[in-house]
Amino acid sequence: MQDEQRGEEEKRQAIKEEKEKKITGSSGSGGGGEVPKAALAVELPNELVVLEVLTRLPVKSLMRFKCVSNLWRSTISQDPSFSKIHRAWHSPSRAGGFSLHIPTPMTPYSLRCFYATTLPSSSCPGGGESVLLPHQFTATASNSCSKYNGATDVVKGLFCLYADESFQEIYPPPKSSGSVYSEDGSLLLQFGGHFALVRGLHSRLVKQELKIWVLELNKYKQGSYEWINRIIEVPWDFPVRGCSFTGNLPLPTGDQIRSY
Amino acid sequence: MASSIENNNEKLTLKSSDGEEFLVEKHVALQSTLLQNMLDSDCSSADVIPLPKIDARTLALVLGYCKKHADASSSKQGELNSFDSEFLKDMDMGALFNLVLAANFMEIKGLLDIAAQKIADTIKDKPHQEVREIFHVENDYTPEEEAAVREENRWAFEGFP
């Protein structure tokens, strides 16, 4: 047992030495003047990296960044104060996450939703729930597209999704006269008190301007929402914040959308 | 009456780590909780406030941010948001790190938030090896250990080297 540990220690030491050699080697040969020195001088202390940067990252990035170093791994998966701050930052009331509930052409009355759960305690040595994991489920609504009573209980307060590739799963809403959705994916989300339907997701988002169809809530009348359609353009890196619905999901259907 | 006008126009001088001096209007300086506390506790009598951890380039950016936010009325939130994203748009990691350090030191919450968020948004889709370099983190894993951690989190690595 002890021998094994010592073996690991030696390996680590060897790797460290190897790296130091590389570093000194490269700085000796490189004729970098003041610029690289200045670049090297900027370093964020670990507390700031953890508190200000890591807490703002989506879960999926955090899972990958456990590979950065042992310290990062233990912070991300074992530090209860970190996960507390991360959860607070990404809780539905603060950042939301978004719920998707868009019928597919094949199954017009079914919903595809995303929600998050906590990791089983066995995978978190720190004990209990540590991080949120995105999941996906499909539910079927009882009758019409205008209300999704079937899903609300499940969605309540749970939504939290960041993974880009999930966008592939998104189907466009049903087409009807006057609706202007693209075929390559749409997503309902909320920001600044507006609901928005984002078009052209996935790879088309990268380094492009994003077009967002803002659907402003105009009226609330006997359980039905009326939306006004307005286009705005936002930078591709617009900080998207989702929402979680706690009542009926107000997904607009074709006849509720007026297009200008 | 006269004294209140005087107060509004009051200025203070900040000195960067590399010795450059910046004349700042008081209401702009109040964006910084650090400076606000100093002014409240009557440290304002000092002629020059040294900021030994912040270089001139960063301080100029910080004060630009403070001025915009101090001058804008609260009704112009949209304008401020677009200023913020334009402000950070082409900034490199080094400059963002400097801003986070300065905003943290000077206690300017809004600036700390947007700069840290920008860093997070920039790194979230980068491979972990690159993130390691960006933050100058020493890789203390053996290759076997790193592979094991990676295997545990395989779902997060789809599409990454």
DSSP B65-101: HHHHHHHS-GGGHHHHHHHHHHHHTT--HHHHHHHHH
Among residues B54, B48, B55, the alpha carbon closest in space to that of B24 is found at: B48
> How many cross-chain Cβ pairs, A to B, lie less than 8 Å apart?
99
Q: What is the pLDDT of residue A88?
A: 61
For chain A, which ranges sit under pLDDT 70?
1-41, 87-260
The residue in chain A having the minimum alpha-carbon distance to the alpha carbon of residue B154 is A64
Q: Which amino acid is located at B123 in the chain?
A: I
For residue A221, give the DSSP letter: E
pTM for the model: 0.53
Nearest to B25 by CA among B12, B38, B37, B34: B12
Give me the pLDDT at residue A120, please: 30
CA dist A215 and A253 (Å) reads: 12
Nearest CA to A250 out of A220, A230, A213, A212 is that of: A220
Question: Which of B112, B121, B131 lies nearest to residue A65, judging by beta carbons?
Answer: B131
pLDDT at residue A43 in the model? 87
Give the list of residues 6+ apart from residue B29 with CB closer than 8 angstroms, or none: B12, B14, B35, B36, B39, B66
Q: By three-state DSSP, how is residue A206 classified?
A: coil
Report whether A153 contacts A253 (CB < 8 A): no
Residues of A in contact with B114 (CB under 8 A): none
With beta carbons under 8 A apart, name residues in chain B contacting A69: 132, 137-141
Q: Which residues of chain B from 71 to 100 reach within 8 Å of chain A, CB to CB?
A: 85, 93-94, 97-98, 100
At a CB cut-off of 8 Å and minimum separation 6, what does A214 contact? A194, A195, A196, A229, A230, A231, A232
Looking at residue A11, its pLDDT comes to 54
Residues of A in contact with B136 (CB under 8 A): 40, 43
* Closest Cα in chain B, distance from residue A226 (Å): 25
- Taking only the tens of pLDDT, chain B with its 161 residues reads 444 444 445 888 999 999 999 999 988 999 999 998 888 876 555 678 999 989 999 999 999 999 999 988 666 777 888 889 899 988 999 999 999 999 999 999 999 999 999 999 999 999 999 999 999 999 999 999 999 999 887 777 878 87
Q: Is B53 on the interface with A (CB under 8 A)?
A: no
Find, in chain B, the residue whose alpha carbon is nearest to that of A61: B124
Q: What's the alpha-carbon Rg for chain B, to the nearest Å?
A: 21
User: Residue A206: what pLDDT?
Assistant: 29
Between chains, do B123 and A60 touch, taking CB under 8 Å as contact?
no
Please tell me the predicted confidence (pLDDT) of residue A90.
58
According to the model, what pLDDT value does residue B80 have?
86
Residue A207: its pLDDT value, please?
32
Q: Min CA distance, A144 vs chain B (Å)?
A: 35
Tell me, what's the pLDDT at A124? Answer: 31
- Residue A42: list chain B partners with CB under 8 A: 93-94, 97-98
Residue in A with minimal Cα distance to B122:
A237
B105 Cβ under 8 Å from any chain A Cβ: no
Angle, in degrees to the nearest 10, between helices B93-106 and B56-71 = 60
Backbone angles phi, psi at B153, to 5 degrees: -115, 35
Q: Give bridge partners of residue A219 from the DSSP assignment.
A: A226
B-contacting residues of A 85-104, CB under 8 Å?
Answer: none
Of B100, B117, B139, the CB nearest to A44: B100
Burial of A182 from C-beta contacts in 10 A (0-12 / 13-18 / 19+): middle
Q: What is the pLDDT of residue B43?
A: 59
Write the residue in A44, A49, A65 that is nearest to B128 by C-beta.
A65
Interchain CB contact of B16 with A (< 8 Å)? no
Encoded amino acid at A170, one letter = I
Using the structure block, give the residue that is written with the tokens 């979230």: B124
pLDDT score at A10: 58
Residue A145 CB: number of other CB atoms within 10 A?
A: 20
Query: Rounded to 5 degrees, what angle do the CA atoms B91, B95, B96 make?
Result: 80
> Which is it for the CA torsion B42, B45, B51, B52, positive or negative?
negative
Residue A216 has phi, psi (to 5 degrees) of -85, 135
Beta bridge partners of A198: A187, A212
Cα–chain center distance at B37: 19
In chain A the beta strands, taken as DSSP E runs, fall at 110-118, 132-140, 186-191, 194-199, 210-221, 224-234, 257-258
Contact A53 B150 (CB under 8 A): no
Q: Indicate the helix (H) or strand (E) that contains A86.
A: helix A80-90
SS3 for A34? helix
Q: Which runs of consecutive H residues, i.e. helices, occur in chain B?
A: 2-8, 26-29, 33-40, 56-71, 77-88, 93-106, 109-123, 128-134, 143-152
CB-based contact A69 B100, cutoff 8 Å: no
